[in-house]
Amino acid sequence: MWARYRRVSFTLLAPAAVLVAPAPSFAVDYLTAEQAQAESFPGADRFEVREVELSPEERAALASRLAAPFPRSRWTLRLAWRGGELLGALVVDDVVGKFERITYSVGLGPDGIIRQVEILSYRESHGQEVRLPLWRKQFVGKSAASPLRIGEDIAGISGATLSCAHVAEGVRRIAHAFPELLRAGGVTP
Amino acid sequence: MTVLRRARPALGTLVELGIRTSEGPRRATRPGWGEAALSAGWAALAEVEGAMSAFLPESDVFRFNAAPAGARLEVRSGTAAVLRLSRALWRESGGLLDVSLGTGPAAWSLDSAGGTPVLCKHAAEVRLDLGGIAKGYAVDRALEALAAAAAEAAQPPACWVNAGGDLRTRGVAVRVHLRDERAGGARPWIELREGALATSDFGARARARLAGEAPRARHVSVVSPRCCLSDALTKVVALSGRADHPLVLAHRARAFIHDPLR
């Protein structure tokens, strides 16, 4: 009965305020880091948070391996344990796109293989905000980051107005850096 | 009202799946069915992407593009469904919608006579790009997977899928914000209660591609019963510059041109 739905129903919303006010911002929160770690590692009985820092030399080596900048030095590793066994770790990062800021998590096994990528939150900037120097500063070192690598990692089909290129790039960065992050956190898988 | 809502990078964009798992005093259902429904939705998306992405070596489209002239390739049923719709829309639009992007709209054909659909390549130079329609099809399939899981749990389907602007909803009103592709920001624009909405941007730096001709409209949305149809019709509207194109009317769709070029 429900499968026969083939209709359309919509309403245009009043555009009144749009003419005078800047476009309002738009944001969605999907998951907290705690929820994401629980969903990415359902078998874990304990999570342990470790703050780690990569040295400038380690970052330079990563940047050269990635053929792309590696700007971030401080990271938070959320280690998932079942008893004494390391199931993996969750890494949270954010990227800035054309007009949006996206926070995402990558769950990796101890072998470095990606188990799950989740978007934690999405923030679309105000139309006016993006013209402010403070907002623009967030783009520095990121907008010029690197060529799109969608075809290699996460397949892309064209036609989107909203690209996941920055997230794909970030996931790739984290996957490459994972052994260094574990080492910096004193973990030997 | 309890809603499960998750987003992941997929189909080259951010995809959001949402499902309403309860509303008021409804009958008890198997716990965790909502999470299982989301998993089914992600699996449906991955299946379409795996079959139709131009970047994945195992995909039907990649295999076709790499094949020599005269090749006959067995393709998945989803790929065949999208190709059939593409062929029909190509005819109906007088060639405006062309999944070969000008490399040879008549140089491929689908042979479904023997059960498993077979895609035939008639010229070496023909390339297929289902980007303009497969994303909408993936949204449709994911929505059907969510709705089927709801029906199994004896719930009325109340779910939506949004793939970076290609959106379909069933039983849930979604307030859609229209993204300003040039200045940033998003303004409330439409409330979609039932059906599918696709928005495409064909500006100079946009990711969407059109065959040959320059678009006569840049920023276009189409509302129709199915997302694959909405997705495809945005190209017809952009190329013709007509929100009242006969094809739009024939498919009981409604088109919006946000930013006419001339």
Quick one: which of B261, B256, B259 has its CA closest to B190? B256
Say which residues have a Cβ less than 8 Å from residue A44's Cβ, sequence separation at least 6. A37, A38, A80, A81, A82, A87
Is the predicted pLDDT of residue A91 greater than 60, yes or no? yes
User: In this structure, are residues A117 and A101 in contact, taking their beta carbons and an 8 Å threshold?
Assistant: no
pLDDT average, residue stretch A26-31: 78
Q: Which of A148-152, B61-65, B98-102, B124-128 has the lowest mean pLDDT?
A: A148-152
Q: Which helix (H) or strand (E) holds B98?
A: none
Mean pLDDT over each residue of chain A, to the nearest integer: 76
What CATH class does B2-49+132-260 carry? alpha beta
Q: How confident is the model at residue A60 (pLDDT cuts 50, 70, 90)?
A: very high
Distance CA A168, CA A152 (A): 10
User: In this structure, are residues A2 and B156 in contact, taking their beta carbons and an 8 Å threshold?
Assistant: yes
How many other C-beta atoms can be found within 10 angstroms of the C-beta atom of residue A33?
17
User: In this structure, are residues B222 and B256 in contact, taking their beta carbons and an 8 Å threshold?
Assistant: yes
The dihedrals phi and psi of B176, each to the nearest 5 degrees, come to: -100, 130
More confident residue, B93 or B3: B93
pLDDT average, residue stretch A165-173: 90
| Residue from the list A7, A127, A163 with its beta carbon closest to the beta carbon of B225 | A7
Q: Which of residues 101-160 of A touch B (CB under 8 A)?
A: 102, 104, 117-119, 122, 124-130, 150-152, 154-160
Are B7 and A118 an interchain contact pair (Cβ–Cβ within 8 Å)?
Answer: yes
More confident residue, B9 or A142: B9
Q: How confident is the model at residue B88 (pLDDT cuts 50, 70, 90)?
A: very high
Report helix, strand or coil for A180. Answer: helix
Distance CA B111, CA B171 (A): 37
Q: Report the pLDDT value the prediction gives residue B253, as an integer from 0 to 100.
A: 95
Are A163 and B156 an interchain contact pair (Cβ–Cβ within 8 Å)?
Answer: no
| Residue from the list A15, A119, A127 with its beta carbon closest to the beta carbon of B183 | A127
Reading across the β-sheet that carries B72-74, which strands appear in turn? B72-74, B118-121, B108-111
The dihedrals phi and psi of B53, each to the nearest 5 degrees, come to: -65, 140
pLDDT average, residue stretch A162-186: 90
Is the predicted pLDDT of residue B165 greater than 90, yes or no? no
Is the predicted pLDDT of residue A182 greater than 60, yes or no? yes
H helix runs in A126-164, sequence order: 133-137
DSSP annotation string for B187-249? EEEEEEEEEEEEEEE-STT-S---SSSPPSBSEEEEEESSHHHHHHHHHHHHHH--TT-HHHH
Distance CA B211, CA B262 (A): 19
Is the predicted pLDDT of residue A153 greater than 50, yes or no? no
First-to-last alpha carbon distance for chain B, in angstroms, is 46
CA angle, residues B56, B128, B72, in degrees to nearest 5: 85
Q: Report the pLDDT value the prediction gives residue B188, as an integer from 0 to 100.
A: 75
More confident residue, A143 or A17: A17
| Residue from the list B147, B157, B208 with its beta carbon closest to the beta carbon of A159 | B208
Q: What is the DSSP letter of B260?
A: B
Is the predicted pLDDT of residue A157 greater than 60, yes or no? no
More confident residue, B175 or B71: B71
Q: Report the pLDDT value the prediction gives residue B75, as an integer from 0 to 100.
A: 97
Is the predicted pLDDT of residue A154 greater than 70, yes or no? no
A78-92, A113-127, B155-169: which is most confident: A78-92
Are A154 and B130 an interchain contact pair (Cβ–Cβ within 8 Å)?
Answer: no
Compare all CA atoms of chain B with the CA of A152 and give the residue at the minimum distance.
B55
What are the DSSP E strand ranges found in B43-181?
Answer: 72-74, 108-111, 118-121, 159-163, 166-179
**Domains in chain B: boundaries:** 2-49+132-260, 54-129
Compare all CA atoms of chain B with the CA of A11 and give the residue at the minimum distance.
B191
Interchain contact A74–B (C-beta under 8 A): no
Mean pLDDT over each residue of chain B, to the nearest integer: 88
Are B12 and A130 an interchain contact pair (Cβ–Cβ within 8 Å)?
Answer: no
Interchain contact A20–B (C-beta under 8 A): no
Task: Look at the block and give the residue holding tokens 């020599």.
Answer: B68
Q: How confident is the model at residue A162 (pLDDT cuts 50, 70, 90)?
A: low
H helix runs in B93-226, sequence order: 131-152
Task: Look at the block and give the residue holding tokens 């290699």.
Answer: A152
Q: Which of A125-134, A147-156, B32-41, B236-245 has the lowest mean pLDDT?
A: A147-156
More confident residue, B47 or A148: B47
Q: Report the pLDDT value the prediction gives residue A128, as an integer from 0 to 100.
A: 47
CA angle, residues B8, B148, B249, in degrees to nearest 5: 80
Interchain contact A28–B (C-beta under 8 A): yes
Neighbouring-strand partners of residue B72: B120
Distance CA B79, CA B61 (A): 8
Is the predicted pLDDT of residue A152 greater than 50, yes or no? no
Q: Report the pLDDT value the prediction gives residue B23, as an integer from 0 to 100.
A: 59
Neighbouring-strand partners of residue B22: B2
Distance CA B97, CA B131 (A): 12
pLDDT average, residue stretch A66-94: 95
pTM over 0.80: yes
Question: Best mutation site among A135, A157, A166, A174 for testing chain B: the one with the most B CBs within 10 Å?
Answer: A157
More confident residue, B28 or A103: A103
Are B6 and A31 an interchain contact pair (Cβ–Cβ within 8 Å)?
Answer: yes
Q: How confident is the model at residue B124 (pLDDT cuts 50, 70, 90)?
A: very high
pLDDT average, residue stretch A174-186: 94
Q: Report the pLDDT value the prediction gives residue A61, as an integer from 0 to 100.
A: 96
Q: Sort out which chain A residues have CB atoms less than 8 A from B206's CB and list them.
A: 161
